[in-house]
């Protein structure tokens, strides 16, 4: 059986400051560091030696991966392709500033190439293509267990690529995951089906 554990970084400074994340290079709060330790403890009971650890290269995910790597004796492999969606000039700005300028996608029509009104921002299509490309590298890794440390938004294209969704199916698709959560993806040995075995597990954060 093959397993992928998709970890969403825990609480970061932009979360508590009410700022836009994206590529804004925020770091974990003190609480976030404690949550990262709990994530590492939870993974230590499930992950065997020889696993591979991949992570977005932004600070909040890199810090999370470093805690996991230290606990499981794994060296993180950094990937800019696993970053959150870029919001261009909106990154690091106050949420109120962002809401005044952001143009949400239409209910019908072009959603993947939609211009959100923020200079330098990625479209949903550009973002999804980037994450899908990162997943190709990860899926080519022969390790039977992998850990991916990423962001709440980027978890959706990661999961979508795992279950074989074409890019255009991401028009409306969204998997809701919380900060500090672990999602378990599985490929069985018999049918080789790709399943979402457990989505958005946060039980380890309250132990």
Q: Is the pTM of this model over 0.95?
A: yes
- CB 160, CB 183: distance < 8 Å: no
175: closest CA among 1, 3, 8, 4? Answer: 8
pLDDT, one tens digit per residue, over 98-141 is 999 999 999 999 999 999 999 999 999 999 999 999 999 999 99
Mean pLDDT in the chain?
97
- CB 56, CB 127: distance < 8 Å: no
37: closest CA among 59, 75, 11? Answer: 11
pLDDT, one tens digit per residue, over 144-158 is 999 999 999 999 999
Return the C-alpha torsion angle 40, 143, 78, 207, nearest 10. Answer: -10
The span from the first CA to the last CA of the chain, in angstroms, equals: 28
- CB 56, CB 80: distance < 8 Å: yes
Q: How many angstroms separate the CA atoms of 156 and 5, rounded?
A: 13
């Amino acid at each position: 059986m093959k397993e992928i554990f998709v970890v969403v970084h825990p609480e970061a400074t932009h979360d508590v400051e009410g700022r836009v994340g994206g590529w804004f290079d925020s770091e974990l709060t003190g609480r976030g560091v404690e949550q990262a330790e709990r994530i590492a403890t939870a993974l230590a009971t499930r992950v065997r030696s020889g696993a591979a650890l991949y992570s977005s290269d932004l600070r909040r995910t890199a810090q999370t991966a470093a805690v996991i790597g230290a606990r499981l004796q794994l060296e993180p492999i950094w990937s800019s392709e696993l970053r959150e969606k870029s919001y261009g000039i909106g990154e690091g700005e106050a949420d109120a500033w962002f809401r005044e300028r952001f143009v949400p996608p239409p209910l019908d029509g072009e959603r993947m190439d939609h211009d959100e009104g923020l200079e330098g921002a990625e479209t949903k299509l550009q973002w999804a293509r980037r994450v899908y490309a990162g997943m190709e590298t990860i899926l080519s890794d022969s390790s039977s267990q992998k850990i991916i440390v990423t962001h709440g938004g980027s978890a959706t294209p990661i999961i979508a690529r795992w279950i074989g969704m074409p890019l255009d199916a991401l028009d409306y698709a969204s998997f809701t995951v919380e900060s500090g959560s672990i999602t378990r993806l599985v490929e069985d040995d018999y049918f080789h089906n790709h399943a979402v075995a457990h989505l958005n597990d946060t039980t380890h954060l309250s132990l």
